[in-house]
Structure 1
Amino acid sequence: MSNVIKRYTELSYMLHMLTSKKIRLLDPRFWDDKNDFYFMSRYKSLKKIQSILALCFTEGQERYHHWKVFSGTASGVRIDFNKGNIISTIKSIAGIRYGNVCYEKLNKLEACPPNIKDIPFIKRHAYYDEKEFRIIYEDDIDEIYFYDIDFKIQDIENITLNPWISKDCVESIRKLVHKIDGCSKIKVKSSYIINSERWKNLAK
């Protein structure tokens, strides 16, 4: 598996993250996948905890649907983090768990229900291509809706902007990122998944 975990998100979140030097775990109630949300809610009930928050990454190769589904298209960005560095940062934080998501088929889970501790890291097999890495935070006492984790800017490998953005906007965003404290060396590039000169050259 790659040592890079990729977070697809929106430009506004990325700028806040770079400025605050924090990554934010959020309440899964706002997720589109209601099966996934139900599993998280069920885990919360079974464990009798007050809060469960999460942040999702992918370890998979770039896919068109990543941009369409996870990043808000025109304002979408992808932040590539060094997985080992992020794990080193979070592994000693009380209440934090992390791991790769397992993608299971219905008949298998019906025949052999999952252990409670595994529930937050299980999704339907239809989502297998996501290759998700997930961080969760549990709070036994307080009901909270987000949890911030400090990180080092050096943990970022690079930032990729969505494939629909214009070249002049790419340069403007690059300059904006480089003006943020500590971010002057971050590589900011554009995705070419829908407009690759290398690919088009194959037909010449």
Structure 2
Amino acid sequence: MAKLERFIRRYSSIAATIDILRRKELPLLDPQNWDDRNDRYFMNLYRERKNFGGLYGLCAATCSETYHHWRVFTNAADGACIEIRRQDLEASLDELEGVRYGEVEYLKLEEVEALGPQDCDKLPFVKRVGFQPEDEYRIIAETTAAQRATLSVELPVSRINRVYLNPWLPKPISDSVVTTLRAIPGCSKLTVSKSYLIDSGRWKRAGDRVVGKAALPKIKLKPTKPRA
């Protein structure tokens, strides 16, 4: 899969994407609701060791789309992906106190066992090597205030490169969703398109050329005359 240098991709639901675009905010969530129990455990260890009141995180991808990302990080036909300009986002994060970001490091068991007390700051940015296909990028926020469900950071539309809709949406529905997203204030010029990962015309045409299959001629139907 291709590595993205200029963008990060946040996979979510269509409803969450609408909320992000309307609020112009990117929500960071309580890690204790994450699916990976190892991840939850390390994040909790880190919060306790640093004596933070609250700890929040956001997970994104640093690679081009994969079937894995659509299936694991979205609810299939309800999924959407916001592609964010990385440099612009990181410049704004640098201005916030208690916020860190970076790509996740994937470790084997013997490698994580070699970590020591001096590696405590790494805990929010390491995962087991079995998760490596995620190509994860993470933002964490540390606060003295008590833990809440979410903590948001600003995300102006200017920092969004484009929005992808999942490849399982029927075209009439995807067209309606595109219209809905562009109707949100400030989003009229936002590039929104459906993913064709599982149904690519270009891919299919390449196969047609392999077997020498010619495109079927278009048949123009004549209008029928009404019966007397």
Q: Secondary structure at the match of 1:192?
A: coil
- How many percent identity over aligned positions? 35
Distance in 1 (alpha carbons) for counterparts of 2:206 and 2:106? 36
Q: Distance in 1 between matches of 2:134 and 2:119?
A: 22
Size of the aligned set, in residue pairs, is 204
SS of the residue corresponding to residue 133 of structure 2 reads helix
Q: Return the letter of the residue paired with 1:12.
A: A
TM-score (norm 2): 0.87
Q: Which residue of 2 aligns with 1:120?
A: 124
| Cα shift at 1:98 | 0.8
Matched, 1:139 2:147: no
Aligned Cα root-mean-square deviation (Å): 1.1
Query: Does residue 157 of structure 1 match 2:161?
Result: yes
Distance in 2 (CA, whole Å) between partners of 1:160 and 1:123 is 27
Q: Does 1:188 align with 2:198?
A: no
Asked whether the equivalents of residues 160 and 189 of structure 1 are also in contact (C-alpha less than 8 Å), the reply is yes
**CA deviation vs aligned residue, 1:118-142 (integer Å, no higher than 9, x gap):** 1000001111111111110111232
Conserved? CA contact 1:60–1:129, under 8 Å: no
Deviation at residue 170 of structure 1 after TM alignment: 1.2
Corresponding position: 1:78 with 2:64: no
Q: Measure, in 1, the Cα distance between the counterparts of 2:205 and 2:77.
A: 26
| Counterpart in the other structure of 2:113 | 110
Please give the residue correspondences for 1:12-91 in structure 2 after superposition, counting only pairs within 5 Å: 12-91=15-94
Q: Which runs of 5+ in 1 are unaligned?
A: none
Pairwise CA distance, 1:60: 1.2
Unpaired stretches in structure 2, ≥5 consecutive residues: 209-228
Tell me how far apart the structure 2 counterparts of residues 122 and 140 of structure 1 sit (CA, whole Å). 23
Cα separation, 2, equivalents of 1:108 and 1:32 = 22
TM-superposed deviation, 1:145? 2.1
1:184 Cα deviation after fit: 0.4
SS where residue 80 of structure 2 aligns? strand
Contact 1:101 / 1:133 at 8 angstroms: preserved in 2?
yes
Distance 1:90 1:203 in 2: 45
Distance 1:151 1:7 in 2: 12
User: Based on CA coordinates, which of the two structures has the bigger radius of gyration?
Assistant: 2
